[in-house]
Structure formats: structure tokens, C-alpha cells
Amino acid sequence: MTNERGTFDQLNDALFAQLDKLQSIDPADKDKMEQTIEQSRAVSQLAGNIIANANTAISLLKYQASEGMDLNGLAATTPRMLGGGR
């Protein structure tokens, strides 16, 4: 994924940054801990949706390749989210 919206490397970095944030909170600060846990759940859910979307695109590419599909005379290209130009 190499468009202006981000890359999978950036997604990975964001997930580890959230993990670091969780690990750096003082366990005695219950409010901050709960807030960060909720934020982490949201980040995790969103990351899961991004990954599921990419897996759907990969499945489509695999299907197109297995069927030798040529869409409107153009060879199937990798979607932008997976580092391609489409």
C-alpha cells in the first residue's frame, strides 16, 4: 500500500505505537488506562477492517489470475492499497 492514505508498514507502526502507549500508562491511573484501552480497541478494529479489505482485494487478484481474466483488454493490476497503480 503506497498511496497518500498510508502503507501497511504505517499501519504496523500505528499498531505498535498504540501498544507502546498502553504499556507506558501508569496502572494506577484507571481513567487514563480505560480511555487508552477503548482507543486501542477502536484502532484494532479499524486495522482489522483494513486488513480484511486488503484480503478481499488479494482474493480477487487470485481469482482473476486463476481464470486468466483480462478486464476490458487490460491485464488485472494490483490495487493501489496493495502497492499497485490501480
pTM for this prediction: 0.68
- Measured between its terminal Cα atoms, the distance across the chain in Å is 11
Grid cell of 43 as nine digits = 484502532
Per DSSP, the three-state class of 8 is helix
Cα–Cα–Cα angle for 5, 9, 15, rounded to 5 degrees? 95
Q: What is the pLDDT of residues 19-53, one digit of tens each?
A: 999 999 999 999 999 999 999 999 999 999 999 99
